[in-house]
Chain A
Amino acid sequence: MTLANSNETLHRKREQSALSALNWVAVRPYMMIFPAIIVFTLFFLYPIGYMIYLSFHDWNFVSPDKDYVGFSNFTALLQDAKFQQVLRNTFMYSFATVSLTISISLLLALWLNKKGAMYGFVQGAIFSPHIISLVSISMLWMWIMDTDYGLLNWFLNLFGISNIPWLTDPKTSLLSLIIVAVWKGIGYYTLIFIAGLQSIPKDIYEAAALDDTSKVRTFFKLTLPMLSPTLFFLTIIGLIGSFQVFETISIMTKGGPINSTNTIVYYIYENGFRFFKIGYASTAGVILLLVVGVFTIIYFKLLSRKVHYQS
Chain B
Amino acid sequence: MKRNPIWMVVNGIGLVLLICIFALPFVWMISTSFKTLGETMTFPPKWIPNQLLWENFSKAWNSGPFLKYLMNSTIVSVGILILQFATIIPAAYAFARYRFKGSNFFFGVTMITLMIPTQLIFLPVYLQMSSWGLLDTLWALILPFASSAFGIFLLRQSFKQVPEELLEAARLDQASEWKIIMKIMVPMAKPVLITFGMFSFIAHWNDYFWPLVMTTTDASRTLPLGITKLREVDGGVAWNILMAGNLILVIPILFIFFFAQRQIIRAFIYTGVK
Taking a contact as CB atoms closer than 8 A, the residue among B93, B123, B257 that contacts A272 in the complex is: B123
Whether B91 pairs with A133 at a CB distance below 8 angstroms is: no
With A131-B257, A285-B121 given, is the CB distance from A50 to B246 under 8 Å? no
Closest to A157 in B: B44
Whether A247 pairs with B209 at a CB distance below 8 angstroms is: yes
Whether A237 pairs with B45 at a CB distance below 8 angstroms is: no
Whether B40 pairs with A51 at a CB distance below 8 angstroms is: no
Whether A48 pairs with B121 at a CB distance below 8 angstroms is: yes
Show the binding face of B for A, using Cβ within 8 Å.
Answer: 14-15, 18-19, 21-26, 28-29, 32, 40-45, 86-88, 90-91, 93-95, 98, 100, 103, 106, 109-110, 112-113, 115-117, 119-128, 143-144, 146-147, 149, 152, 177, 202, 205-209, 212-213, 224-225, 227-228, 231, 239, 242-243, 246, 249-250, 253-254, 257, 261, 264-265, 268-269, 272-273
Closest 8 CB pairs of A and B: A133-B206, A47-B124, A32-B90, A39-B147, A32-B94, A43-B144, A36-B147, A36-B91
Whether A272 pairs with B126 at a CB distance below 8 angstroms is: yes
Q: Which of A192-221 contact B (CB under 8 A)?
A: 192, 195-196
Taking a contact as CB atoms closer than 8 A, the residue among B24, B152, B224 that contacts A135 in the complex is: B224
- What separation, in Å, do the CA atoms of A273 and B168 have in the docked complex? 56
Whether B116 pairs with A44 at a CB distance below 8 angstroms is: yes
30 A-B pairs within 8 Å (CB atoms) are namely: A26-B100, A32-B93, A33-B95, A33-B106, A35-B90, A40-B149, A43-B125, A47-B124, A50-B127, A51-B124, A122-B18, A127-B265, A131-B202, A132-B206, A136-B227, A136-B249, A136-B250, A140-B25, A140-B246, A148-B43, A149-B42, A149-B43, A149-B239, A151-B45, A191-B268, A244-B117, A250-B208, A269-B122, A278-B127, A285-B120
Residues of B within 8 A of A133 (CB): 205-208, 224, 249-250, 253
Residues of A within 8 A of B143 (CB): 39, 42-43
Whether B113 pairs with A246 at a CB distance below 8 angstroms is: no
Residues of A within 8 A of B26 (CB): 128, 140
Closest to B43 in A: A149
Chain A residue total in the interface (Cβ 8 A): 84
Taking a contact as CB atoms closer than 8 A, the residue among A26, A29, A183, A240 that contacts B94 in the complex is: A29
A289 within 8 A of B: yes
Whether A278 pairs with B100 at a CB distance below 8 angstroms is: no
A231 to chain B, nearest CB (A): 13
- What separation, in Å, do the CA atoms of A46 and B109 have in the docked complex? 12
A141 within 8 A of B: yes
Closest to B111 in A: A300
Show the binding face of A for B, using Cβ within 8 Å.
Answer: 26, 28-33, 35-37, 39-48, 50-51, 54, 61, 108, 111, 118, 121-136, 139-141, 143-144, 146, 148-149, 151, 154, 157, 183, 187-188, 191-192, 195-196, 230, 233, 237, 240, 244, 246-247, 250-251, 265, 268-269, 272-273, 278, 281-282, 285, 288-289, 292-293, 296
- What separation, in Å, do the CA atoms of A240 and B231 have in the docked complex? 31
Whether A50 pairs with B25 at a CB distance below 8 angstroms is: no
With A33-B95, A125-B19, A140-B243 given, is the CB distance from A48 to B208 under 8 Å? no
With A148-B43, A251-B228 given, is the CB distance from A44 to B98 under 8 Å? no
Residues of B within 8 A of A61 (CB): 127
With A132-B250, A149-B43 given, is the CB distance from A51 to B100 under 8 Å? no
Whether A50 pairs with B124 at a CB distance below 8 angstroms is: yes
Whether A29 pairs with B100 at a CB distance below 8 angstroms is: yes
Residues of A within 8 A of B109 (CB): 37, 40-41, 45
Residues of A within 8 A of B246 (CB): 135-136, 139-140
Residues of A within 8 A of B44 (CB): 154, 157
Residues of B within 8 A of A129 (CB): 22
Whether B121 pairs with A47 at a CB distance below 8 angstroms is: yes
A33 to chain B, nearest CB (A): 5
